[in-house]
Amino acid sequence: MPSTSVPPNDQATKNRVSQPTGQLIVFTGPSGVGKGTLLRHLLGQHPDIQLSISATTRQPREGEENGKHYYFVSRPEFEAMVAQGDLLEWAEFAGNLYGTPRKPLEHMIDRGHTVILEIELDGARQVRESLPAARQIFVLPPSVEELEARIRERGQDSDDAIAKRMARAQIEIQAASEFDIQILNDDLELAVKQLELAVFTQPSTAAHQPSPPETPPQI
Ligand SMILES: Nc1ncnc2c1ncn2[C@@H]1O[C@H](COP(=O)(O)OP(=O)(O)OP(=O)(O)O)[C@@H](O)[C@H]1O
Ligand SMILES: Nc1nc2c(ncn2[C@@H]2O[C@H](COP(=O)(O)O)[C@@H](O)[C@H]2O)c(=O)[nH]1
């Protein structure tokens, strides 16, 4: 895979002193499909992989820490980041704003790290435009019923938030074929193995693409 550079804003162009060498991976899928769970397993086995920490206007869930899970900011603070060109991509999701801070990502890529962005569909599309070399992975649920059950069992979202997330999930699942790789998260262990293969196999080799799900989710 060719090296991935973050499209610079003016200041970043002036500051850049070395050629980037790392690779960027975009990891998308409907809310509750298990993206965070899969990444926890992957990072547990490969601590050298870096996860980009997003900024969001969403309220922290129980146990979430500022600077670890997200940078929790106010809407005016987020809008200032957008105006200053501080975000590589950003989107509104279920009533909250989410975005990828550009500078830490540039830093990690410049240092040769594999960096994963766990982001929703609009953001993934923005990255596809600005960084076509980034590998794009989409996670599918076994069914929308199972997806909703997972969000409910997680027990961290209100009924209103769940309804918004499920409405958005229908749209996101329809877009799965836009992505380079699709992973069905039914059997967790199998899905982790497919993710590992997707991250570590170079796209030029025939074995790059894990098998698509045998049964597409019912939507
Ligand atoms: N393969 C699986 N089988 C059953 N349950 C799973 C599986 N993978 C994840 N889960 C469960 O589904 C719930 C949602 O998972 P998780 O929070 O990782 O989703 P997510 O895609 O990161 O959601 P969000 O985008 O909203 O942050 C969790 O309770 C998790 O334990
Ligand atoms: N476009 C972006 N989407 C992001 C970013 N960080 C997270 N997300 C996605 O938002 C939804 C909801 O997340 P939750 O933590 O509130 O459940 C989920 O799909 C995330 O992947 C980002 O920086 N940009």
Q: How far apart are CA 195 and CA 123, in angstroms?
A: 20
pLDDT score recorded for residue 12: 46
Mean pLDDT of 167-184: 97
Quick one: what percent of the chain has pLDDT higher than 70?
Answer: 83
Q: How far apart are CA 80 and CA 70, in angstroms?
A: 17
Strand partners, 98: 56, 91
Helix (H) or strand (E) holding 196: helix 188-200
Ligand 1 centre to CA of 118 (Å) is: 13
**Residue 118, token pair as written in the block:** 């766990």
Listed as own residue / partner, the contacts of 93-97 with beta carbons closer than 8 Å and 24 or more positions apart are 93/31, 93/120, 93/122, 93/168, 94/31, 94/161, 94/164, 94/165, 94/168, 95/161, 95/164, 96/56, 96/57, 96/58, 97/55, 97/56, 97/57
Q: Which of 15-24, 126-135, 141-150, 151-160 is least confident?
A: 15-24
Calculate the alpha carbon distances from 14 to 50, 100, 127 in Å.
25, 21, 22
Q: Which of 99-103, 166-170, 180-184, 206-210 is least confident?
A: 206-210
pLDDT band at residue 156, thresholds of 50, 70 and 90?
Answer: confident
**Residue to mutate, 37, 98, 183, ligand 1, most ligand atoms under 8 Å from C-beta:** 37
Q: What is the pTM of this model?
A: 0.87
Ligand 1 centre to CA of 34 (Å) is: 3
Quick one: what percent of the chain has pLDDT higher than 90?
Answer: 79
Mean pLDDT of 99-122: 96
Ligand-binding site membership of 7 (annotated): no
- Residue-wise pLDDT tens digits, 158-167: 999 999 999 9
Ligand-binding site membership of 74 (annotated): no
